[in-house]
Amino acid sequence: MSAMLDDDRREALRDWIAGRLGSSTLIIDEIRPLSGGSIQENWSVRVRMDGETRGFVLRKDATATIASSLSRAEEFAILEAVHAAGACVPEPVGFCHDDEVLGAPFALMGLVEGVGLGPRIAKDLSLGGDRVGLARRLGQELARIHAIRPPQPALAFLGEPDAQPALARISTLRAKLDALRATRPSLEWGLRWAERHVPRNADSVLTHGDFRTGNYMVDGRGLTAILDWEFSGWGDPLSDLGWFCAECWRFGRSELEAGGIAPRAAFYEGYEGHSGTRIDDAAVRYWEIVAHLRWAVIALEQGHRHVSGAESSLELALTGRLVPDLERAVLRDTSPDRWSATHA
Amino acid sequence: MRDDPSGAALLNAARLALTGEVMPALTGRARYVAAMVANAMGIAAREIEQGGGAARTWDRALATAGTATCADLVTAIRAGRHDADPVLYAALAETAAAAAEIWKPPVPAGGA
């Protein structure tokens, strides 16, 4: 950003951070781009104030945004809520609504060190500390997030919880398939199965929406931060557990059912211990099937971004091609003997 | 009349040259991109070789369901006309397996 950030903007950013932290002598030492998702632009900002150096991450919307994700301001409000609830997340420092400072609204958060790349965490056992302990900790963290329940005035933008989160998800996925003009009978088979086998509703809670290996960071000792809150909203708590355990997010370590890092039991144990509730395992497995359906639809959307010419990218193109593998997983779990005789 | 080596054979040779001779010298982002390129070349080569068979699995699935197009089959499944239908299920499983094997060749037992 240094190149894109003229002196006026840099000065405006300095003034804004200085005001936020109440330090008039604050100096910006460095601003540099971080590799980020396609939805956000992330920058590392290092400042000096009162003889001490502090690191922050500045997060701003990139040009290509996904319609279903939250705005940066909403995401920041979620971060404030889960931080207040004691979840292991970057410290929410402030949100700037004023376009004059950087040309677009942005969030400023405390910098957290760690490795977040899913495949690397799954393979490199020097990361994350004891893996059973890490899975247990992630279960506890998820329970802490799920302790936030509607209504929450600060999260009014999330709207009312769906009465039937599973049916709402199925209808969203069908609408996305239709919007893409994608005819995928195997996905439709899975969606129809999911429609007919909805588990008993759990009470709505704040769900992360993308809680999986690859969206948290670890260092050599353990968890350092849970990231990527742009898909959070009211939902069924077990949808987060199913997304975390789904085979598509085990990064080749399919025998380690808790996110490719540990046995499922450790993750459940952490969650149950912190929440004081018993996990409905069959319902989690239902949500794992829905996870494969959801990831398949997202993969189709990503492939479509390349095919439509909206964003030429080998990574997006390849993602589009992994759909049949997900369809195979969906079919494996929805064979005719797994359909109940009566309508759910 | 087709010239040899075929397009698929050329892609396979190019992929092996990339993974065997170029990639070991690369690090970081360049290595990651090269791995994606090799992956894409493998998919394209398998599609040339196996695409016909995969297309025939679709013809069989549609014939099984008694529908003319994929869109009709989608409508029928959503309407519940194939709930737990073992014949359609077997046909769909065949289409998914054929397409998934183009995406990634089957791993020999114990080789994961």
pTM comes to 0.92
Q: Is A258 helix (H, G, I), strand (E, B) or coil?
A: strand
Q: CB-based contact (8 Å) between B68 and chain A?
A: no
The pLDDT, as a whole number, for residue A34 is 84
Minimum Cα–Cα distance from B34: chain A residue: A314
Q: B1: distance to nearest CA of chain A, Å?
A: 31
Task: Provide the b/e sequence for A224-263 (b: ≥16 CB within 10 Å).
Answer: bbbbbbbbbbbbbbbbbbbbbbbbbbbbebeebbbbbbbe
Among B77, B78, B101, the residue to mutate for chain A (most A Cβ within 10 A): B77
ipTM of the complex: 0.93
**Average pLDDT, whole number, for chain A?**
93
Flag whether residue B36 sits within 8 Å of chain A, measured between CB atoms. yes
Instruction: Tell if the CB–CB gap between A339 and B84 is shorter than 8 Å.
Output: yes
pLDDT of residue A71: 84
**Average predicted confidence (pLDDT) for chain B:** 93
**Has residue A65 got a pLDDT over 90?**
no
How big is the CA angle at B97 (ends A168 and A336), to the nearest 5 degrees?
55
By three-state DSSP, how is residue A342 classified? coil
d(CA B62, CA B81): 14
pLDDT of A60 strictly over 90: no
Report the run of H or E that residue B60 belongs to, with start and end: helix B28-65
Please list every residue in chain B whose beta carbon sits closer than 8 Å to the beta carbon of residue A314.
33, 36-37, 40
Within A147-280, where are the H helices? Answer: 165-179, 185-196, 237-245, 264-275
Q: Calculate the CA A161 to chain-centre distance.
A: 19
Residue A166 pLDDT greater than 60, yes or no: yes
| Separation CA A24–CA A109 (nearest Å) | 19
Inter-chain touch B40–A318, beta carbons under 8 Å: yes
CA-nearest residue to A316 within chain B is: B36
Q: What is the model's pLDDT at position B23?
A: 97
The span from the CA of A141 to the CA of A51, in Å, is: 34
Whether A331 sits inside 8 A of B92 (CB atoms) is: yes
Q: What local confidence, expressed as pLDDT, does residue A37 receive? A: 53
Q: Say whether B78 and A314 touch across the interface (CB within 8 A).
A: no
Per residue in A79-108, pLDDT (tens digit) is 999 999 999 999 999 999 888 888 888 999
pLDDT of A4 strictly over 90: no
Question: Tokens representing A255?
Answer: 């025998």
Q: Is B106 on the interface with A (CB under 8 A)?
A: no
Q: Tell whether the model's pLDDT for residue A3 goes beyond 50.
A: no
Bridge partner residues of A53 (DSSP): A48
Residues in A touching B39 (Cβ below 8 Å): 318
Q: For chain B, how many residues are written?
A: 112
Residue A2: is its pLDDT beyond 50? no
